[in-house]
Amino acid sequence: MAKLKEISKFISLILRHKPEAIGITLDEHGWANVSELIEGISNQYKFNMEMLEEIVNTDEKQRYSFNDEKTLIRANQGHSIPVDVELEKLEPPEYLWHGTGEKYVSSIDKQGLIPRSRLYVHLSSDEETATKVGKRHGKPVLYKIKSKEMWQNGFEFFLSKNAVWLTKEVPVYYLIKC
């Protein structure tokens, strides 16, 4: 199982940031050819379609999606390379949440939430998920986002296939530090 987790992280790197790491390319919507992905990964790990399906089906964050024929695969969000994963634009709930580590608070308090190396800022619909995310970065700090007000002021929100809310930025005005 540990090997599958390691391979899943490698797939995340490939499909979100560096497809060239195994010599493949993504199309404009972030899709990779499954056969090429398996072949590329097989140069470093013992790997096959069954293992890929297990990773996709058991990933607790639902990071990946197949097309209907399972000939293409992509990461649902979190890209640092420019792709259009055909996100659905939606009106957000009144509040969304962002979890981060204590070390990032002074920067966030000055700049707001910015995507840094990613295409979007990632937001959660509940405190519990945001807290889990924050713990990955050290002592967690939560921000409550006035998302409905942002929407009313012209900011766009998208909901990824794995229920992560995305937006281009969250200015300081819309942040409430908890």
Tokens 């790990």 sit on residue:
45
CA angle 125, 116, 123 (to 5 degrees): 0
pLDDT tens digits along 101-122? 999 999 999 999 999 888 899 9
Q: Pairing relation of β-strands 96-101 and 72-75?
A: unpaired
**CA gyration radius for the chain?**
17
pTM for this predicted structure:
0.74
Tokens 């199982």 sit on residue:
1
Is residue 165 within 8 A of residue 120, CB to CB? The reply is no
pLDDT tens digits along 37-93? 999 999 999 999 999 999 999 988 889 999 999 999 999 988 889 888 888 899 999
Helices marked H in the chain: 2-16, 34-42, 49-58, 105-111, 127-135, 147-152
Collect contacts of 150-156 with beta carbons under 8 A, ≥24 apart.
150/92, 150/174, 151/91, 151/92, 156/89
Helices marked H in 17-154: 34-42, 49-58, 105-111, 127-135, 147-152
